[in-house]
Amino acid sequence: MRVEIFRVARLCAPCLDSMGPATFHGNPASSSELTNWRDSVWIPCLSPALEAALAVGKIGCRELIEVDQKLDLQLAGPLAKSSRTAGRQLATQFSAPANEPALLKFLAAVDSSSSPGHLAVVFAARAAVFHIPLPTTRAALLFLEMRAAPIDLLWPILEACLAGAKPATTSLYAA
């Protein structure tokens, strides 16, 4: 399962190695910082936005922009800025397949600043093109957020963050 999560992270964010932090700027080894981020950013904002963007990713650009704008209203200050910076980097680092008009239009909207371009939304839109299931997409985005963690802590951190997700998708093993 870990290999699959890494594969999806790489597939949906090919610029993974050059991306800076998105919304988690704390010490991943600090339980209190991790819990605070999980409870104030991941559970109420990022996870629902990721789920919504994945659900509408193949439907239309307008729906993706709505999810992106809603997330922009939920995140504040430096978190919103770093999320947009990472998302815009991702949006400019890959091209969408020609037969994916919703993604093509969404990327153009991000490029023209008609849509904020948050990482969770851009990542989910790309995952939708590849038909990646929600639990794996969730775990892969968490991997991107927590990739600065020491390797021995990375997987327990992902499990701890996923523990706050919907019951059917709480475990990496469910992914």
pLDDT, tens digit, 9 for 90 and up, residues 1-52: 889 999 999 999 888 888 877 999 988 888 899 889 999 999 999 999 999 9
Question: Phi-psi bin for 50: left (phi > 0), alpha (psi -120 to 50), beta?
Answer: alpha
Cα(79)–Cα(20) distance, integer angstroms: 12
- pLDDT tens digits for range 123-155: 999 999 999 999 999 999 999 999 888 888 888
**What Cα–Cα distance (Å) separates residue 115 from each residue in 51, 66, 111, 132?**
18, 8, 8, 23
